Amino acid sequence: MSASASSPPAGEENKQEAAPVRHCKGVNDLDKVVLREVRGSSAEVYLYGGHVTSWKDEHGDELLFVSNKAIFKPPKAIRGGIPICFPQFSNFGNLEQHGFARNRTWCVDNDPPPFPVPTSNTAYVDLILKPTEEDLKIWPHSFEYRLRVALSPGGDLMLTSRIRNTNADGKSFSFTFAYHTYFKISDISEVRVEGLETLDYLDNLQDRARFTEQGDAIVFESELDRIYLGTPSKIAIIDHEKKRTFVVRKGGLPDAVVWNPWDKKAKAMSDFGDDEYKRMVCVEAAAIEKPVTLKPGEEWTGKLDLSAVPSSYYSGQLDPDRVIQDSTVPEDSIS
């Protein structure tokens, strides 16, 4: 297509850029929604998987990692961004790895039930997923999964999942869950994760044996794949080289998965570059050890709020007061 044929009318391009919510086509002609805040931060959400694939700050710097080898083609899940693991995390059950929500095409929900806390944000989109006939064969439970993806005026990325049991047969169901967030970092050797000290974790590299974290922070020197249990509502990922700290706030999600595949596993993944493990780390808000159980009509809410702030140090440690102060979301807004 020639440039003239694809160019929008004069003035139209800027209008499109400024729109807080824009529906368009992404890689391989897949439908996506672009969210943009007035100060310049943005996010992209693919309807395939209800999958956030981009989150940029007001300077246009990308904050999420997506592999250069990611395959944007159903039924393969997109490698990177924020895959949604539902109704099963990993192989905690009989379904395919991480369940099926990340492999399904979601719909835009034009008339969602009101949120408990009204939002003044205009940059948000509501998606909905319901089971197909095929889904009901492999997981025989009727549900409505509503997902809101929003950008705060300060550039925070907020995901709210509301999952309701709509079974007509009176049966409860249980599920495990994770926001499998891939953060983009400068170098894995320059990163530390704080907030999980002294906690118990299940080590996925040792048949999920249970250990207690001994370090004052998590650092990365080899493959790491752990499920931390009973975690606080706030976790910090400190990137020394970038002088940037990601703050993960979460609600309804007691566990946290920390993962980096390192070199050997990276080479074994067809949709992941051999050296890309150096530029990503997964810190995942999750509900795994104790599955969530819903009776018919009951609804569960799981919240994730991500912010990126300049790193601030006090005696070599993250200063938690500074992080709260720099964030645009009050501490008590996520319960």
Catalytic residues: 180, 284
Beta bridge partners of 191: 239
Q: How far apart are CA 57 and CA 266, in angstroms?
A: 28
Task: Please choose, from the candidates 248, 184, 255, 258, the residue with its C-alpha nearest in 3D space to the C-alpha of residue 219.
Answer: 258
Q: Is 148 annotated as a binding residue?
A: no
User: Was 325 annotated as part of a binding site?
Assistant: no
For residues 84 and 47, the answer to whether their CB atoms sit within 8 Å is: no
How crowded is residue 328: how many other Cβ atoms within 10 Å of its Cβ?
13
Strands 51-56 and 255-260: unpaired
CA dihedral for 45, 46, 52, 54, sign (positive or negative): negative
Beta strands in 180-298 (DSSP E): 182-184, 191-194, 200-203, 209-212, 218-219, 224-228, 234-239, 244-251, 255-260, 280-294
24 strand-pairing partners: 32
279 is in an annotated binding site: no
- Helix/strand/coil (H, E, C) string of 42-76? EEEEECECCEEEEEECCCCCECECECCCCCCCCCC
State whether the Cα torsion 159-109-99-281 is positive or negative: negative
Token couple for 127: 């998606």
The SS3 call for residue 96 is: coil
Residue 183 dihedral angles phi and psi, to the nearest 5°: -90, 140
Q: Which residues are annotated as a binding site for substrate?
A: 79, 97, 102
Q: Which residues are annotated as a binding site?
A: 79, 97, 102
